[in-house]
């Protein structure tokens, strides 16, 4: 068996990755103190993990707790490492892989929502079309004058991607997205 493997000739052996990478959503409960986000982000960059999306805000003011939601991509082995490495950070209380948790309860994935503000400028037919499509996507107009709209849209990432793609030929100017907020279904906390 050994003969089939290519020796790399180095003490740093780099094994061929055989597992497939997956997207997972992690929920990280942390003490809201200076530098905590830098610790989390520094861990990802320092150890070469991916961040697809990151959302953070204080969620329990009295306890000084913040919740960081990270969408990351990696093989199951790497995802397990990410979880354990996050747990080593002193101000981190809990790390839950929401994707794994949702699989355990028979769901395909956790509840994930994102909010986007989308600015579209234009006149005439394009403008009317933009407003009609926004209505179909249940996006609401939060600012407008005769030359532009700002739409607020909430939904799964894929829905927002689609909305943005449709707005492109209709005068899309700029976009701001919050990143993914996520919870698992059911009555229990993380």
Partner 1 sequence: MSNGQNERREMTGAEMVVQALKDNGVKHVFGYPGGAVLPIYDEIFQQDEVEHILVRHEQGAGHAAEGYARSTGKAGVMLVTSGPGATNAVTPLQDALMDSIPLVCLTGQVPTSLIGSDAFQECDTVGITRPCTKHNWLVKDVNELAATIHEAFHVATTGRPGPVVVDIPKDVQFAKGFYVPPQIAPRTSYQPKVQGDLDKIKAAVELMAGARKPIIYSGGGVINSGPEASHLLRELVDLTGFPITSTLMGLGAYPASGKNWMGMLGMHGTYEANMAMHDCDVMICIGARFDDRITGRLTAFSPNSKKIHIDIDPSSINKNVHTEVPIIGDVGRVLEDMVRLWRASAKADKKALYPWWEQIAKWRARDSLAYKMNNDVIMPQYAIERLYALTKDMDTYITTEVGQHQMWAAQHYHFEKPNRWMTSGGLGTMGYGLPAALGVQIAHPDALVIDIAGDASVQMTMQEMSAAVQHNAPIKIFILNNQYMGMVRQWQQLLHGNRLSHSYTEAMPDFVKLAEAYGGHGIRCEKPDELDDAIKEMISVKKPVLFDCRVATLANCFPMIPSGKAHNEMLLPDEATDEAVANAIDAKGRELV
Q: Residue numbers of the site for partner 1 (CB under 8 A)?
A: 1-2, 5-15, 30-31, 34-35, 38-39, 42, 46, 77, 80-81, 84-85, 87-93
**Is the Cβ of residue 89 or residue 183 nearer to partner 1 in the bound state?**
89
**Is the Cβ of residue 66 or residue 130 nearer to partner 1 in the bound state?**
66
**Is the Cβ of residue 46 or residue 106 nearer to partner 1 in the bound state?**
46
**Is the Cβ of residue 88 or residue 185 nearer to partner 1 in the bound state?**
88
Minimum CB–partner distance for residue 59 and partner 1 (Å)? 15
Could you tell me the end-to-end alpha-carbon distance of the chain, in angstroms, rounded to an integer? 44
Minimum CB–partner distance for residue 22 and partner 1 (Å)? 17
Minimum CB–partner distance for residue 42 and partner 1 (Å)? 6
CA angle 40, 98, 53 (to 5 degrees): 45
Angle formed by the axes of helices 157-167 and 124-136, to 10°? 170
The first and second tokens of residue 57, run together, are 């805000």
Minimum CB–partner distance for residue 94 and partner 1 (Å)? 8
Beta partners for residue 26, in sequence order? 70, 97
171, 109 contact by CB (below 8 A):
no
Query: Do the strands 140-144 and 148-155 form a parallel or antiparallel pair, or are they unpaired?
Result: antiparallel
């Amino acid at each position: 068996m050994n003969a089939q493997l290519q020796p790399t000739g180095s003490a740093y052996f780099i094994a061929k990755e055989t597992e497939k990478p997956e997207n997972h959503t992690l929920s990280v409960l942390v003490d809201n103190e200076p530098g905590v986000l830098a610790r989390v982000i520094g861990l990802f960059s320092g150890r070469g993990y991916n961040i697809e999306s990151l959302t953070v805000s204080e969620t329990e003011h009295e306890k000084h707790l913040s919740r960081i939601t990270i969408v990351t991509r990696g093989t199951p082995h790497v995802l397990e490492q990410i979880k354990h490495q996050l747990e080593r950070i002193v101000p981190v209380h809990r790390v839950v892989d929401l994707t794994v948790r949702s699989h355990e309860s028979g769901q395909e994935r956790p509840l994930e929502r994102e909010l986007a503000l989308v600015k579209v400028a234009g006149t005439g037919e394009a403008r009317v079309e933009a407003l009609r499509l926004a209505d179909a996507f249940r996006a609401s107009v939060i600012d407008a004058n005769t030359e532009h709209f700002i739409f607020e849209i909430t939904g799964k990432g894929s829905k927002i991607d689609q909305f943005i793609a449709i707005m492109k030929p209709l005068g899309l100017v700029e976009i701001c997205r919050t990143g993914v907020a996520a919870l698992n279904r059911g009555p229990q906390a993380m």
